[in-house]
Amino acid sequence: MLQHRSLLAAAMLLAVCVPVALSTQLAQRAYTIEVRMTIEVKARGDVSEICMWTPYNRVYKEGWWSQHPYQQVDVLELRGPSGLVEPKLAALTREENLLLVLDASKLRSEEGEYRIEVKLLATIREFKQGIDPSLAEPISKIPERLRRRYCRADKYWQVESQELKELAMKLAPSDNTYQAVKAILNYCYKEIEYDSGVILRNETRGALETYRRGRGVCLDKADLFITLCRARGIPARLVIGIVCGKVGGLEIASAHAWCEAYIPPYGWVVADPTNGFFGSVTEAL
């Protein structure tokens, strides 16, 4: 699995979401959104490549909505200071996030500064189906093939840490998968303080350090949530993308990291330990 985290000293993101179409049909809504982003990066020393997470096509592969596509993303344009840019490499991680590797020399605007303009077109099918906790099956019912793939340890997910194993069991003693995931989410949401200074310090902490320090940004909270779920035997994975909203009447977007946890028989369920969102089969760009 590729693990490209922060390569540069600081990054600023300005984005605008332009709704193109909206339709409502039974229990789901479909959006088509054009997302325009301008990313400016400042870095020290020689930089040969810049890696950029990009929203990607996603399809439900498990649970009640198996094989239902819920997100389609087309990269319409990547533009540097001197014109259009083509990625050197596009890599899909085990978590099904898309990483674009770009030639930094084509993005340099001046010494130590880089700039890229991104235009995406995304269609999102959003479910409004809630999760009934009483229907959630026990952790023991989770397929072993999913455990093998989504309960393993990683550089930032110290699943074998005895400290985190004990915390996971303390937080989530219930064998009900829904209750266990909810307890872990509540801990990461309420007990881990959001610390925006991590971005400016260009730090990537991972689960264990985030737990010990008790603070972090969205990626740190996601790392801890994923690790605690996996330590408890519950498949969990990282989602890298963009969240859209309104500020002062203007549609804006921001880069964000959140999670999905596997809850049988429903399948993958969104869990956002930064904002506390949980418990509905619904997806966002």
* Most confidently predicted of 51-65, 202-216, 237-251, 269-283: 202-216
Q: Where are the domains of the chain?
A: 10-127, 131-239+257-281
Q: List, for residues 222-254, the tens digit of each pLDDT value.
A: 999 999 999 999 999 998 877 766 656 656 667
Q: How open is the CA angle 231-237-241, to the nearest 5 degrees?
A: 145
pTM over 0.85? The answer is: no
Which CATH code, of 3.40.605.10, 3.40.640.10, 3.20.20.450, 3.10.620.30, is assigned to 131-239+257-281?
Answer: 3.10.620.30
Whole-number average pLDDT of the chain: 80
What are the DSSP calls for 64-90, one per residue?
GGTT-EEEEEEEEEEEETTEE---SEE
Residue located via tokens 């737990």:
211
